[in-house]
């Protein structure tokens, strides 16, 4: 089980460019990153574990797919909206 310590390592794993993205995804999208003390360090560091990241990514993909399906199923065919060329 791989553990990513610090915002920079988490950004590298997720291919995000800025460390502030991690905090935004934690707050807005429920990204599984937590604060924890490492060894004898008095400061709390951000960390994330690979199994939780994989579950989160899978959930994000399923939610996006379901949203696309719902959007496609609610669209109604309107013949007046068809573009006519000629």
* pLDDT tens digit sequence for 42-67: 889 999 999 999 999 999 999 999 98
pTM of the model: 0.74
Q: Is 45 exposed, middle or buried (0-12, 13-18, 19+ CB in 10 A)?
A: middle
As a whole number of angstroms, the distance between CA 66 and CA 52 comes to 21
Which two tokens mark 46?
């951000």
Domain assignment of residue 75, given as a range: 3-81
Residue 42 is assigned to a structural domain of this protein: yes
Is 86 contained in some domain? no
Residue 57: inside a domain:
yes
Number of independent structural domains in the chain = 1
More confident residue, 83 or 25: 25
Q: Return mean pLDDT, the chain.
A: 88
């Amino acid at each position: 089980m791989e553990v990513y310590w610090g915002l920079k390592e988490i950004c590298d794993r997720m291919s995000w460019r800025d460390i502030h993205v991690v905090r935004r995804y934690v707050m807005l999208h429920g990204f599984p990153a937590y604060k924890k003390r490492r060894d004898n360090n008095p400061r709390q560091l951000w960390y994330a574990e690979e199994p939780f990241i994989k579950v989160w990514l899978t959930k994000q993909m399923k939610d996006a797919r379901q949203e696309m399906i719902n959007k496609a199923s609610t669209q109604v065919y309107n013949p007046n909206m068809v573009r006519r060329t000629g």
